[in-house]
Chain A
Amino acid sequence: MNPELILSLLVLGLATGAIYALIALGYTMVYGIIELINFAHGDIFMIGTLLSLTMMNVFGINASAPPKVFTFDLIWKLAIGCLACFLICAVLGVVIERLAYRPLRNAPRLAPLISAIGVSLILQDGGKLWKGISDIPFPSIPLGFVTVGSVRINFVDILVIILALVLMLALQFLVTRTRMGKAMRAVAQDRDAAALMGVNVNQIISLTFFIGAGLAGAAAFIYSIRFSTTKFTIGYELGLIAFTCAVLGGIGNIVGAMLGGLVIGLVGAFVSLIPPSVLPNGGDAWRNAVIFAILILILVFRPSGILGQQVPEKV
């Protein structure tokens, strides 16, 4: 097999995997703390991609006239754009939690889940209203590339991977080393006991949504640098894949989500190697089917994921 192809697929897989992992973190954090699959999370990511497009337009980076050469000016613009995306999406996540999930905190399990589906539909159509139903192109950012053998490795890919890693490390630090992180872990373990110990549970849940949605926003900005188009349905598709990553790694487990993201990213990249003789039309057409098949297999054979522990159900 062609080693250059494998190398380029590897880079592609790691870059997409890093983005998946960032989205998966939001799922896993929210699930860990209130045991809710936040169906709207993928759509927050989608709103984030649309937002980053607006950011770039604000900074004068247009799809019609993309910058020709790389300048240091650009780095600042990108950094500010990423931060703004993080904050706006984070606030959106908190607002959603406040309006759609908090009133249902003590309702039967199905209720917040259905409410989450409703929010997801609302956000999707919001995106549709905002930017229309067709594919929206991102401006390409000229970050340059290195050549390894005959393979071109874009700096964008490396930047994406590094950015994602930095964010994940920051999150890991926040959760394991700070007071706030301790409170979050306490709420995840036992909400009532945490409340008795003086933890403001509502505040911590809001914080979780803030960080999770913010990471989705950052992921969206990174996505808009790396990939060429977005669409209002992208949140649904990527959200489902990211959820698969979260489950693969062990839901509720932050390191697991990162690991799951990378694995699924690589699988998604290498699926295209499957020849049309095995699957009609080649592996690319079946990518989502393969990923969901993996999801189902994990859930059937190891529902706790790679790093998760089997938790006995509370009675």
Chain B
Amino acid sequence: MSVSMTPRLLAPGRDLRALLVKWIVALLVPVAIFTFVWNGEVTFNDLWLTLLSQSKKLLYRDPVVLVQVGIFMLVLYATTMLLAGYLVAADSGRRSNWEIWADVFFYVVVPILLIVLVNHLLIGLGLSVAVFAIYAFVRGRVVKLLNYIPPSPREDIQVFDAAQRRVVISKGKIGGFWFSTILALIWVLADVAFFLAGAAVFSENSLWIWVGLRTVLFPVLGYLLGWVGGWVAARLTLSENGNGGAASNGNGNGRKVGRLRRLQQLSSARIAEEARNLVPNDLPLQSRGAWRFYLILLIVFALFYPALDRALFGSGTAGRLSGYGDLGYYVILALGLNIVVGFAGLLDLGYVAFFVIGTYSWALVGSDQLTALTSIVINPQVLPWLFWPMLIVSALIAALWGVLLGAPTLRLRGDYLAIVTLGFGEIIPIVFLQLEKVTNGSIGIAGIAAPATPSLPPLIPAIEWSSFNPTPFYYLIMALIIFTIFTNVRLRDSRLGRAWIAIREDEIAASSSGINLVRTKLFAFGAGAFFSGIAGAYHAAKLGTVTPKDFSTTDSYMFLAMVVIGGIGSIPGVILGAIVVYSLNVLIIPQLDGMAGDPQNFLHFIRDILPAFRFQYVRNLVFGLLLVCIMIFRPEGLIPSARRRRELHRTAEEAPEVGTLDSVPGTPGFEQEVRVE
């Protein structure tokens, strides 16, 4: 960073121009693919037309849906403009264009294209994870082959003065401005091309107002949002007055401890981690600043997804939403198991037991079974409302069982524990199957009530909770997932969470440092089971029926596969693992079977060779192969937690330096050098 003069907007210098080219290409390609290949433009045009004219057969008759889609589209474009500003401001410019473009291509463009191609969000994502894995592998090989050493971010940690921070902000402005200007121009060109090709939409004159408005507004908006992006980047610099814009940490003496000082005190491995979030850095795409924008995008997408689904994937929304509701409880289960396996390092192979307990907790209360068992009659109007307290109660019951089953196993070492929990996973479904008086045995319990929500007719419309209307369940599971993630993050960073990790690393050392092993392990079991109780109650309410057949011990293996594939102990990794396992299990494999069964399809040849073969039969084989391969080739999982990555790659990062010793062994100098006091 030798530039201290503020760069100009219209004629940026040569360095800045190179950065602009790099990031505008990197961002424009995915945005353009979304806009022109997928449904972005059509959706926006339709939105505009619905707003101004009543004439057409329109996508969005419902104003609520209209508003939601509109907000999402606005947030989408605004966030990319913010990102453009941030990335231009935050990049150190040392990584080559092609490296960044390849990353963007494989991690962003390929998923979008795959999703568009298969026209299904999760199948597309599941397939792209396979592409990620191949890409990461090939990339590693190529880097090794070319002997390419990427610049390490920790070397250029330096303090910024006010002028340099102003440069960062103005780079953001310039980045946002040029990105949105070019986007607007491309969009106008595309519109003109569509018009010349005779697209029907352009018969509406009001559409041209939108085109004009957009073309003028985009650069202005881009300038302002780029400013914000640059400001975010400037906050992440190491600055003179302590702490990069944020309030400085004062300690007891009132002495300011700057970020630089803090960085200097960290281990070298931690510095590499932390420096990734400083500005400028070599990988701004992966920095904390950029993650904020991704998160905004992700949250808005998840929030408005039920409205968006039709615009993006066409008909069949209800079925898909219901599927995502199911995916949601996989995610919660995986996160719960992650507490036990990932944080505390206790291999639990009977996790399905707690899920069964949670499911039956609500099933027994929320159906006629309660009356049959205890002859307590609950007003059917009131029963659905009991779901909300029971959600907590089922979780607590499951947690209690977690503690009860965990207690006898505390003295056991890792592998015995695995077997005992496996035994529990086997016993509990048998108990629920055989206790016919309570659980109806193999017939199961039907007619479990769905939850109810308050309605105040003019303001809050009544919500129909039934298996035919998956939208409320989608929002319910979203809320539960957010709650679970939040709790998991807070638990991980708490004193208890650190104790779990200490136990995972070395039980004896942890106990010697004053960690109460019994209590800590029991908390891990209880917390893990708590979340499976939540997932169970949700599952019972959504499905409406429960039978012991729904649960098998191999489910526990599946849950373990989610945790292991994603990355043991890593919260985003585990969520990704759940998505991968779910899409393999419920979407991709049945899809393949359907394709093989169709005589028109190219996969049909499998039926000709092996008539009895079904892809379903090899489901566990695929999971098994994944488990073995991950353990051997990438034990940290797809998205490793920071700690685990450091652990597993410490030796690679901190290879002993050649020539550390100055003297030859045997000489007096050597003796002096290596002598230990």
A interface residues, Cβ below 8 angstroms from B = 35-37, 99-100, 103-104, 107-115, 117-126, 128-129, 132-133, 236, 240, 243-244, 247, 279-281, 285-286, 288-289, 292-293, 295-296, 299-300, 303, 313, 315
Contact = CB atoms under 8 A, between A and B. Distances in A.
Contacts of B349: 117
Interface in B557-603: 557, 560, 564, 568
Contacts of A35: 415
A133 B412 contact: no
A110 B618 contact: no
Contacts of B424: 292, 296
A289 B431 contact: yes
A280 B408 contact: no
A75 to B, nearest CB: 35
A280 B430 contact: no
A121 B414 contact: no
Interface of B: 341, 345, 347, 349, 408-409, 411-416, 418-420, 422-424, 426-427, 430-431, 434-437, 508, 553-554, 557, 560, 564, 568, 612-613, 617-621, 623-628, 631-632, 635
B613 A121 contact: no
Contacts of A113: 347, 414-415, 418
A125 B347 contact: no
B426 A118 contact: no
B434 A285 contact: yes
B621 A114 contact: no
A122 B624 contact: yes
A117 B630 CA distance: 12
Contacts of B554: 121
B426 A115 contact: no
Contacts of B620: 121-122, 124-125
A101 to B, nearest CB: 10
Given A286-B430, A292-B427, 18 more contacts: A36-B415, A104-B631, A112-B631, A113-B414, A114-B631, A117-B349, A121-B623, A121-B627, A122-B624, A124-B621, A125-B621, A129-B613, A236-B553, A286-B434, A288-B426, A292-B423, A300-B408, A313-B413
Given A100-B632, A289-B427, A292-B426, A118 B414 contact: no
A129 B618 contact: yes
Contacts of B613: 129
| Majority secondary structure of chain A interface residues (helix, strand, loop or mixed) | helix
Given A114-B564, A286-B430, A288-B430, A296 B423 contact: yes
Interface centre among A109, A280, A288 (most CB of B within 10 A): A280
A121 B624 contact: yes
A122 B427 CA distance: 24
9 contacts: A37-B419, A118-B625, A124-B624, A129-B617, A292-B423, A292-B426, A295-B419, A296-B409, A313-B413
Highest count of chain B CB atoms <10 Å: which of A117, A280, A295, A300: A117
Contact of A111 (B430, B553, B557, B631): B631
A111 B631 CA distance: 6
B347, B436, B564, B632 — most chain A CB neighbours (10 Å): B632
Sorted from nearest, which 10 A-B pairs have the closest CB atoms? Answer: A118-B627, A121-B624, A125-B621, A292-B423, A122-B624, A118-B628, A300-B408, A118-B624, A121-B620, A115-B631
A123 B553 CA distance: 16
B427 A114 contact: no
B632 A280 contact: no
Contacts of A280: 434-437
A35 B415 CA distance: 9
A115 B568 CA distance: 14
Contact of A37 (B415, B437, B619): B415
A272 to B, nearest CB: 14
A108 B345 CA distance: 11
Contacts of A100: 628, 632
B412 A303 contact: yes
Contact of B632 (A103, A109, A120, A121): A103
Given A240-B423, A296-B408, A125 B635 contact: no
Given A121-B621, A124-B620, A313-B508, A303 B632 contact: no
A133 B618 CA distance: 11
A241 to B, nearest CB: 10
Contacts of B413: 313
B635 A111 contact: yes
Nearest to A110: B347
A122 to B, nearest CB: 4
B425 to A, nearest CB: 9
Name which of A118, A132, A279, A303 has the most chain B CB atoms within 10 A of its CB. Answer: A118
B419 A281 contact: no
Contacts of A293: 423, 427
A300 B411 contact: yes
A116 to B, nearest CB: 9
A293 B431 CA distance: 12
A20 to B, nearest CB: 15
B414 A240 contact: no
Contacts of B414: 109-110, 113
A128 B614 CA distance: 10
Contacts of A133: 617
A118 B617 contact: no
B517 to A, nearest CB: 13
A315 B441 CA distance: 48
A276 B146 CA distance: 72
